[in-house]
Amino acid sequence: MARIVFAMNLSLDGYVDHEEFAPDPPLFHHWTEQVRGLAASVYGRRMYEVMRYRDDDHPEWTAQEQEFAAAWRGHAKWVVSRSLQAVGPNATLVEGDLATVMGELKARLSGEISVSGPDLARSLTDLGLVDEYRLYIHPVVLGRGKPFFAAPRPPLRLVASERIGADVIRLTYVPA
């Protein structure tokens, strides 16, 4: 049975914004290895549209960016959206009841299923399906934006902490 993990970069004050801070080379490598090891990813529409940029090669990319894109393309993706009509390669548009689809994925796959997007993570948490939360905290204060936790959470228990690269701390929590 797979585990559903919600992991994202965020600011010290709890906001996610891919345009406000970027991973340093060690963290970028860490994310590439994380993606390489996934059984699948599940995206909300907005995060999928951000990530879908990696479906095509771009000549300005560094070797690290090319490596990440290859890892991202290589695993299965499910996209939860009411507005998208189609998704890109190696992706499936989720149709039907989210709890049923996610429960089936969790039962069918082994390893980790990554969830991207705070709103989708909130929905999956409300359904009792998120097994782990990984907060990659950057030393940046945004003062605005989309919060990592889109709604109040049940109590969580810290199970690990790790410094990655020069400035990022990863905190790993599970439902208490």
User: d(Cα 35, Cα 167) in Å, to the nearest integer?
Assistant: 21
Maximum pairwise Cα distance, the chain: 46
Residue for token pair 């599940």: 42
Assigned token pair, 163: 């410094």
Region 137-153: mean pLDDT is: 92
Answer whether 57's CB lies under 8 Å from 73's CB: no
| Domain 2-175, CATH | 3.40.430.10
- The continuous run of DSSP H or E covering 119 comes out as helix 118-126
Characterize the bridge pairing of strands 156-164 and 168-175. Answer: antiparallel
How confident is residue 23, by pLDDT bands cut at 50, 70 and 90?
A: confident
pLDDT digits (tens, 9 = 90+) for 100-140: 999 999 999 999 999 999 999 999 999 999 999 999 999 99
Integer angstrom CA distances of residue 176 from 114, 123, 131, 155: 20, 18, 10, 5
How confident is residue 22, by pLDDT bands cut at 50, 70 and 90?
A: confident
Assigned token pair, 159: 């199970």
- The continuous run of DSSP H or E covering 46 comes out as helix 45-51
pLDDT digits (tens, 9 = 90+) for 40-83: 999 999 999 999 999 999 999 999 999 999 999 999 999 999 99
pLDDT of amino acid 165: 92
